[in-house]
Amino acid sequence: MADKTAKSARPSSDMTAFRKEFAKAKSIVILTGAGVSAESGVPTFRGAGGFWRKWQAQTLATPEAFADNPSLVWEFYHYRREVMASKYPNKAHEAIAECERRLKPQNRKVTVITQNIDGLHKRAGSDSIIELHGNLFKTRCVKCKDVAVNNDSPICEALRDKGEPDPSAVDAKIPVENLPRCKISGCGGLLRPHVVWFGEALNTEVLDRAGEELDKCDLCLVVGTSSVVYPACMFAPNVASRGITVAEFNMEDTPVTNEFMYHFQGPAGEHLPAALAKCDTEK
């Protein structure tokens, strides 16, 4: 545990010092955001440049948009699913997954709590993953509420070759009966992406699991997240307030950078492999 009273105004970038703390940690939580996936070329759909056709994601990723035009919303999410077919986990994802596998036989735990919905942590090999905002490759039935993994490409025949992001593209206007449907016998309800949309609350069970891991962690890493989205923005500061070491890996400072013990500026794919590599004290 770090001594908060010894913390300077600016977080340290001393990798050797961080590594000494990493070597002692028994329960490590890694909080990840869009910046990790951006290094794999995944569009973030945040900020002024985050448009699909003429819409920003915030206008499509809502329950109201889905109720009003499920065809358009499914085009958007079908496009995002298909984009992921050409994207792969990067060195940061791989370093996290390798660290989890390596530490498990030592009775040391690594838990990923991610705001990302792209599934890249799982594809990299991580097992202990808490997905705060859901997953692009899961669906939820609006009728029976069944949640299922769905990696079909396309997710339904009517969406094949649809979802072109060009602003001049014509909306497919797919009849609702031809959109993805529930496969549970006797249901057949309309499916929606199993993601948390704007205006929706995070799943309480998921939040509880995240809270449990944060409460017992003795080291926390913040990787590729701007720390502005509630409630995730409070996770690391709350951990730091208990005197637990928090290390931030980001391209730039965030509003809470100075609350942490360490800050490593630059691509996570460059810093994380060194930060999480095998220590001399490991067997």
**Annotated binding-site members for NAD(+):** 33-52, 115-118, 224-226, 250-252, 268
β-strand partners of 109 = 27
Angle 195-171-59 from CA coordinates, rounded to 5°: 40
For residues 5 and 144, give the distance between their C-alpha atoms in angstroms, rounded to a whole number: 53
Known binding-site residue numbers for substrate = 77, 80
- List the structure tokens of 152: 């079909």
Active site residue 271: no
DSSP for 47-113, please give it. STT-EETTEEHHHHSSHHHHHH-HHHHHHHHHHHHHHGGG----HHHHHHHHHHHHHGGGT-EEEEE
CB 143 within 8 A of CB 190: yes
Catalytic residue among 93, 133, 194, 263: 133
Catalytic annotation, residues: 133
